[in-house]
Structures are given as C-alpha cells and as structure tokens.
Amino acid sequence: MKAVSTAIGYPYIGENREWKRYVEAFWKKDLSEADFALKMKELRLKQVKHQQSLGMDLVTTGDFTLYDRMLDVSTMFGMVPDRYGWQGGRVDVSTYYAMARGTADAVASEMTKWFNTNYHYIVPEYDGKTLQLTENYLLTHFEEAKNELGIITKPTLIGPYTFVQLTKGYDKTSKAAFVLQLISLYAAVIQQLADAGAEWIQLEEPAFAQSLDAEDVKLIQEIYKQLAQEAPEARLMLQTYFQALSAYGELSKLPVAGIGLDFVHGAEENMESLRTDGFPQDKVLGIGIVNGRDVWRADLAEKAEAIKAVLSLSDAQEVWIQSSCSLQHVPVTTQSETQLEPVLKNALAFADEKIVELTQLCAYAREGQWSGNKSVSESMEAIEALKQHEVRKNERVKKLVSEVKEEHFSRPMPFKERQSVQKQALQLPDFPTTTIGSFPQSAEVKRTRKAWRQSKMTNEEYAEFVRKETARWIRIQEEIGLDVFVHGEFERTDMVEYFGEKLTGFAFTEKAWVVSYGSRCVKPPIIYGDVEWTAPMTLKEVAEAQALTSKYVKGMLTGPVTILNWSFVRDDLSREQVANQIALALKEEVQALEQAGIAIIQVDEPALREGLPLRKEQWNDYLAWGVNAFKLATSGVKNETQIHTHMCYCEFNDFIEPIRALDADVISIETSRSHGELIDSLKQHPYELGIGLGVYDIHSPRVPDIEEIDTILNDSLAVISTEQFWVNPDCGLKTRGEEETVASLKNMVEAAKKLRRQKQPV
C-alpha cells in the first residue's frame, strides 16, 4: 500500500511573525510594493523548503496569502465591488487591501468567522458583473517552488461549493449564473495548474461537513461533474474538515481522484460511513488523523490503531496521512518556547511537531509496524506525565463544580422588571453612548509593557503608567461626552491572555502566535490544569477609574466560553467541564466588582457562536452548556447591577434564541459591515432586551461622519425601541489610532444627541 505524508495547509505568518511585519511595513509605506512582493516570495519559498526538510512527502502551496484566502479567490475571479474603483485586469495590491481594510471613501468588505474557528475571512460580494480570471496566483506559487526549489507541490484552493456558500449578493434567480461562471473559472485555474505539472490539486470544501439537503447535494454533484468535464486530466483531492462528510453515500462518488476525511473531529461519523458504504477503490483516501486545531502531542499508538481501523474499513490502496485541517490554526513550533515548564512543553506539538508526527505515522502506515521507533513510547510518557501533574488535581475547584445547582443559572428577577429597577438606579439618558472596552494601545503603551515584561521597570512604575494612561482617557471620554465610560484596558495585552495570567491552570507562550484576522495575531493561552480564581483580577484598575469620574465606569471581563474558545484547551476533560470551571472563577470576579460599587459589568462573549458544531441539528447541546456557563458567571448579582455582553460577527437571525437566553441586560453586536442585514433580521425576529448595534466599523481606519451614523441610528429605530437602544462602536478600539478614535467617537456622540433631540416631544 502506498502512503504519503502531507498537511492541508501550513501557518504562513513565519516563526517570528515575519509575515505580519512585512505586511504592516507595506501598509505604513516603509516597504515599496516591489520589496514587499520580494519579501513575500522569499517567505513562501522558505516555508515550502522547511516543510520538506521536516520529512513531509507532499508540501502544499496556495495556503499562503497577503491577507485572506477567501479574498484571494474573490480578486482572482474579479469579484471587486464598484466602490473600490477597479477597472478590470489584474487586481493591484492597493485595491486588494482596500477591500480588506477599507479606505477614506469606501467601507471594507464584510468580515466574519471561518466556520467554528477564531479565524476571520473577508466575505465575497457578488454584484452580478461578469467574472473573469484576473491572475492565477496559485500557478505563480506552484511554479516558484518548482523552478526555484525543484519541489512539485500540491496547490490548494477553497473549493467552489464552499466559496458559493460563503458569498453574499446573489439570490435564487442569479445563483445559477454565478455558479456557472465560477465553474469555468475554477476549471481554467485547475487546468493551468495541471498543464504546469501539478500532480495533485487540492480543493478545500469544509462546507461539505455542514447540513446538506437534496438541493445542496445536487448542486455539488453538478459542480464537480462540470469540473471533471472541463479539466479532465487534473487529479483533484477533495478535502473536507472540521467535521464528518455529510451525504457520504452520494458525495464519496464525486468524480475526483481523492477524498480527505477528518478522523479527529468527525471520526465517529466518518468511520460509520466507511463501515456502511465503504470507500471507492478508484480514489486516494486522505486520513486526517493529527489534530490541526489543538496543541497537544498525539498519542501515536492510539493514532496508529485508528489508522489501522480506517484502512481495514476502507481497503484503500493509496492513502495520505495528513492533518485534520490546515495547520494555520496552530503556532509554528515549540522550539521557540524557552520558558514553559518541561512537563508541559514535552506534551505539546505545534505545526512543525505535528508534521513530524505525520511522517512517523505515515512510516507506520507503509510498514505496518514501528520498527523500533522510540517516538511511540515517548509520546505516551509525555502525555502520562502531564496527566499526573498537580495542576490537574485541584480539590477546591472540583468541589465548587460539584456544588453548582440549577438556580445558579438565572437572575432572581426577569428582564422587564430588572430594566425598570436599573433605569431608576442608573438614571441614564435615552440612547446612552458607550464603547466596547478597549482604547488605542499606543506605541508608548506597548513599549512600556514590553519594558515591564523584561523587568526593566518595577511593578509599581508600570502600575503608575497604567493609572496615568487610564486617567488621561477618562478625561478624553469626558470631553467626548460619552455616557458610560470604560477604563481602557491599558494593562491588558489580549482579552483572554490577561485573565489567564491571573487564574490557575493556564500557561503562556513567547512566540506561539496564530492569525485572528488580517495581520492581527494572537497567542492563545494553553489551559492545561484546573482553573481557579485566587484574587481580584480587574478591580484595582476599574475602581481607580471610577474614582476619577461621576459617570459610570463599566467593569470589563471576558466571558467563560470566549476564554475557552480562544484558548488551546486540555483534552482530558470535556469542554463543558472546563467552561464551568472558568465560569465559577469569573463569578467570583463579578461579585468582587459589585461589592466595590461597580454598577455596570460587561462580560464579553464574542466567541460564543464560533464554538457551534457545523450542523444545526448538533447545536443544542453546545448552546445549552455554553449559555449556562455565561449565566453561571453573571447571575449572582443584584437586580440593580446591569450586565452587558458583546458579540462579534454574529448571524443574528439564526442565533437570536441563544442571545436571548443569555439574559444579559444589554448586548452589543458587531455588525457595522452588514448593518442592513441585521435590521432586516430584527424585523423578522424582534429582540426585547437592551441592545447596541455597532454604528461604525473599528477594523477600518476611516472616520464615519455624523450623517452616516445618524442614518444607521434612524434605520435602527425601526426595529429597536428607545428603552432598549444603546449607541456604540462595533468592537473594541485597541488596534486603532488615537486621533481617528476620538474623531469617530465625537461624531457618534453628536449623532446620538441629534437623535435625542429629534425624539423629544414638541
């Protein structure tokens, strides 16, 4: 039997975030376009060569991007909205980044989560124009590796069905024309790659793991039938991931040369499909066996047994031993980490280590035995050592979790009654204005934090700097005229990392970066032990800020499910169990804030939706414990205490019931890039609790004018009553500049005041 080791994709940011530095230098005009292109090419080739040096048999290209791979496909096919002024031909890099980030004259394209991950993609917009192949960047990347390194790679491309499903702008009458154009363009790209010598071309179809009805299946069959007819010589590897392949009986028969299945997140269902329907003997089977979404070392013995079971059920004659999904969701290498305790570090595997695991498992698949390889015993010993670590044996945490009762998941008074109590207690104006939490983290803030981290300044000196910066922004908020203030979060690097550093059970890395969106990279904490609150985490900074103003200053916490979903989570407990541990820790922090007189406490859950299984029929279990974790953290407060929350890029119309179930007094929604869609959704699905619709996009440097915000506010009044309505930006302002932030907030406040005047009785 033939076995090949490969990965669906590899992190493009570089071991030291070189990619981010080059991109941001280009944006700042510190790199010319020619130099930027050269740097990107050098980094691409370096990464291809590096993967081969680790023993990978088949290296992937096309997984590298200048911002986002969905945006790459959009621009490759000429899907550029009119507002960017594109006149056809190759889409230049300035137009490309205008779509991603917006300009002074054009809002950015919408951005949303990539399935159930923390990565954000740029949503393609179809406006009915004739599509065209502007440039085959996949061919460029393939030929680079072939001509300069002598490596025949596997080009990868977001598959046509997934691209269609994630595109906005078409309706039932225009969909057929859109799909037909796309098929021809995909076929042209594929044929060019095959002509250039690509032996395999990978089409990524994670949407195949979603719920599919008969119409979906028919569309998929037609797309792939036509691709096979238009590019008959190309060998296509159809990759599915994040869950099991839906409609396996029909889709396993598609006219492709291979099918990749996820045997990590969809293991049970995919195994059952093999057991029931077998596997086509004319196809290569991609066995996604190493987890592309966690950081834990694989139990090689266990994985080998799983491979044996797959081989037995499928009887496949050729297999790819591969990652369950792209490795872009994990950091590059554990070799960069020098501060982790040895027991933990030895139990970790990042992208490079996972590639080594794939090569080891591939050798086993070929030979049917380990041939004296010590890697199996080493992996088992590392996993067992972490299992026995004292950080996983916290008896107080176990006791707290065992004592949770049903009444801990609800407020003592229903919302309408609480709303009246809070209105009397808080005395806020109509359409109260606030921000989401963070303010710009200037170069000085970052330099000072870095100096403190490097012990170049004392804790007292750093605390004094944070206090002064907070006081300065309290004054700025007074001048702007906001109604409810925040302290600005200058002491925080990341909204999850900050809390993890103050709770037990978390570990932190030096260079374990992953991309969240664009050039925004985060270092997710690693939850490896029991989570416990030991002392107030936010009280000092919030209380100091509150003492500087008569306006309310919100307590600012990150919610339990977001901390869970934005961390790499231990795999020896269920995610529900870990979420409850975090919720109980946050509950103690909420109580500490309330006891100190903080009347408004925001517990953000921007990641609640991203943890959803890909299929709606499997949502209920996750939502039941996810919502309960939030309520466990927030329900112990007085009726007068107002609980806020915030969500990012949420398809409101299919998520309104879970949002309502949170029972938060006020929710802010990140929707400025798709505001009209939310208004339409609220017309169909009224929402009764307090709500703030993000009135401008913080991911773009442009400053919205008063009239623009005024239009959004008046449109919103059609679906939100005055009693419910809060006015805020659509997300935190940490990544923005001070000048643009102040200008935007002043316009927002003026628009809210204008709305108050217009609503006053004559």
Q: Which residues are annotated as a binding site for 5-methyltetrahydropteroyltri-L-glutamate?
A: 17-20, 113, 118, 520-521, 566, 610
> Is 699 annotated in the active site?
yes
Closest of 639, 547, 629, 626 to residue 584, by C-alpha: 629
Burial of 9 (0-12, 13-18, 19+ CB in 10 A): buried
Closest of 100, 111, 84, 129 to residue 166, by C-alpha: 111
Contacts of 20-28 with CB under 8 Å at 24 or more apart are: 20/513, 20/519, 20/521, 23/66, 23/67, 23/518, 23/519, 24/519, 26/93, 27/97
Start-to-end CA distance of the chain, whole Å, equals 84
| SS3 per residue for 658-681 | HHHHCCCCEEEECCHHHHHHHHHH
Tokens 């049917």 identify what position? Answer: 368
With beta carbons less than 8 A apart as the criterion, state whether 602 and 637 touch: no
Closest of 658, 622, 605 to residue 243, by C-alpha: 622
Give the three-state DSSP class for 108.
coil
Alpha carbons 119 and 519: distance in angstroms, whole number: 11
For the chain, the helix, strand and coil percentages under 3-state DSSP, each to the nearest 5: 50, 15, 40
Burial of 188 (0-12, 13-18, 19+ CB in 10 A): middle
Q: In sequence order, which residues have a C-beta less than 8 Å from that of residue 244 and are 6 or more positions away?
A: 209, 261, 262, 265, 266, 267, 268, 269, 270, 273
Question: What single-letter amino acid sits at 742?
Answer: V
Alpha carbons 51 and 472: distance in angstroms, whole number: 48
Which residues, listed in sequence order, are joined to residue 54 by a DSSP beta bridge?
none
- For 520, the enclosing helix (H) or strand (E) is strand 520-522
Helix axes 93-101, 69-76, angle to 10 degrees: 130
* Tokens representing residue 41 in the block: 């090419």
Give the three-state DSSP class for 2.
strand
Alpha carbons 323 and 521: distance in angstroms, whole number: 22
Binding-site entries = 17-20, 113, 118, 436-438, 489, 520-521, 566, 604, 610, 646, 648, 670, 731
438, 443, 488, 549, 676 from 475: Cα distances, Å: 15, 20, 12, 9, 34
Alpha carbons 684 and 123: distance in angstroms, whole number: 23
514: phi then psi, degrees, rounded to nearest 5: -135, 155
Alpha carbons 631 and 628: distance in angstroms, whole number: 5
Alpha carbons 631 and 625: distance in angstroms, whole number: 10
Binding-site entries for L-methionine = 436-438, 489, 604
Closest of 271, 190, 202 to residue 233, by C-alpha: 190
Residue 217 half-sphere exposure toward CB, CA atoms < 13 A: 13
Binding-site entries for Zn(2+) = 646, 648, 670, 731
Q: What is the DSSP letter of 236?
A: E
Positions marked active-site: 699
